[in-house]
Amino acid sequence: TQLLEQSPQFLSIQEGENLTVYCNSSSVFSSLQWYRQEPGEGPVLLVTVVTGGEVKKLKRLTFQFGDARKDSSLHITAAQPGDTGLYLCAGLTTDSWGKLQFGAGTQVVVTP
């Protein structure tokens, strides 16, 4: 059982549509991060959220950290084929500094 549960596991949408990926846990996190991974490469950091209720925007991507710091979401507006990739959430709990743990990931495919 993984500490972070991501849903859905797979998402296929058309260019221009919106999508939301969820990351949930029963544990409280000091911070959560979102990464994107392309085939054959390591994950690349997109954003870090540290405050409960925090919302961060990165162009068409909106990240939210839950008020209780147990969950997060990633929303993509008007998805483009370049958004295709594996999206991973990862977090540090309050008692495990340095021990970054990942969810299983959400594979997003955006078709033209």
Partner 1 sequence: NAGVTQTPKFQVLKTGQSMTLQCAQDMNHEYMSWYRQDPGMGLRLIHYSVGAGITDQGEVPNGYNVSRSTTEDFPLRLLSAAPSQTSVYFCASSYSRGDSYGYTFGSGTRLTVV
Select from 2, 58, 74, 110 the one that contacts partner 1 (CB under 8 A): 2
Count of residues that interact with partner 1, criterion CB under 8 A: 26
In the chain, % helix, strand, coil (3-state, to 5) comes to 5, 55, 45
Residue 37, beta-bridge partner list: 86
CB of 96 to partner 1, least distance (A): 9
Select from 91, 105, 108, 110 the one that contacts partner 1 (CB under 8 A): 105
Place of tokens 């954003």: 47
CB of 20 to partner 1, least distance (A): 19
Which parts of 5-64 interact with partner 1 (CB under 8 A)? 6, 9, 30-31, 33, 40-45, 48, 50
27 token code pair: 């544990």
Contacts of 88 (CB under 8 A, 6+ apart): 6, 34, 35, 36, 37, 43, 102, 103, 105, 106
Binding site for partner 1 (CB under 8 A): 2, 6, 9, 30-31, 33, 40-45, 48, 50, 88, 90, 92, 97-105
